[in-house]
Structure 1
Amino acid sequence: MRCTDYRSIYLAALLLCLTPTLGLASSGGGEKAAGTYPGYVKLEPPLVVNLASQRRAQYLKADIQFFIETAHDAELVALHMPLIRDRMITLIGGRAADQLASKEAREQLRTELLAKLRETMTQQAGAPAISAIYFTGFLIQ
């Protein structure tokens, strides 16, 4: 086989390997494609927040997914993601770990977050955009 044949095979293999990655990059890092809503949008990266503690440093790591009704709402959420993350950090940060540890406390936090984010999105984008919030991981350390 000639050297150019190996180059062609190598190039074809490289393109095949990169094709799925390029597809994710063009759709916003793995968010759902247009037309597949209602559905979920995952908060990436997970939310990490410092908690109040007099004894030692503590933090919360939360994996969060938003339930979104339409592709337009998903676009609004993606556009305003820095603001959404800021509001979540502001609302959660500084709370004590014992204020978040119980099931009831997590439900209360979910309710507060949803209300705050819907209010923020309505002010900024003209629509609440987020229908529900789900914790798919919740670690206090």
Structure 2
Amino acid sequence: MFKKILFCIFYLTLFSPFNLASAEEENAEPVADYQYYALEPDIITNYIKPGKHLGYIRLGIDLMVKSTTAYQAVETHEPIIRDRIITILGEQSEQQIKSITERKIIRTRCLNAANDAIFEITGTRPIEDLLFTKYLDQ
């Protein structure tokens, strides 16, 4: 009888949910603290348009970062991020600005340029994604 009770106690402690939870916590990766950094004010710049007309684009941009340190890096280096994005937009033609498929390519180029700009200074690539929250062209 004593052996049965001892076996039951051993069995319950071995497979208890508390033991399983602590084992999962040990194997779990740190939870990412995703945050969004909005570039304020919106970016307004010109683009290449044929003829004597001047084309302009207005963009609202949010940058997704994974941690508070990445958020601080983006906040600190916002001017160079804005410069790289404005440079890329200024190189685009009217056809590229108005095309939806080209818009995705422009977004990817802006993301890579922003990460490269920060990488040159800090050695890290803190931006996970770049989102156009507003996209107006004329």
**Alpha-carbon shift at residue 94 of structure 1 (Å):** 3.7
Matched, 1:37 2:33: yes
Alignment partner, residue 46 of structure 1: 42
Counterpart contact for 1:60–1:138, Cα < 8 Å = yes
Letter matched to residue 67 of structure 1 = M
Alignment partner, residue 111 of structure 2: 114
**Alpha-carbon shift at residue 138 of structure 1 (Å):** 0.3
Identity of aligned residues (%): 27
Match of 1:75 among 64, 72, 75: 72
Counterpart contact for 2:35–2:71, Cα < 8 Å = no
Question: Residue 46 of structure 1: SS of its match in structure 2?
Answer: strand
Q: Which runs of 5+ in 2 are unaligned?
A: 1-31
Larger deviation, residues 95-104 vs 64-73: 95-104
Alignment partner, residue 87 of structure 2: 90
Question: Residue 41 of structure 2: SS of its match in structure 1?
Answer: coil
Q: Which runs of 5+ in 1 are unaligned?
A: 1-35
Alignment partner, residue 66 of structure 1: 63
Alignment partner, residue 101 of structure 1: 98
Larger radius of gyration: 2
Question: Residue 132 of structure 1: SS of its match in structure 2?
Answer: strand
**Alpha-carbon shift at residue 67 of structure 1 (Å):** 0.5
Letter matched to residue 40 of structure 1 = Y
RMSD of aligned alpha carbons? 1.4
Counterpart contact for 1:46–1:63, Cα < 8 Å = yes
**Number of residue pairs matched?**
106
Question: Residue 45 of structure 1: SS of its match in structure 2?
Answer: strand
Matched, 1:133 2:130: yes
User: TM-score, normalised on structure 2?
Assistant: 0.72
Residues 47-79 of structure 1: per-residue CA shift (max 9 Å, x gap): 111111223111000011000100001100011
Counterpart contact for 1:97–1:140, Cα < 8 Å = no
Residues 84-109 of structure 1: per-residue CA shift (max 9 Å, x gap): 11111111114222111121011000
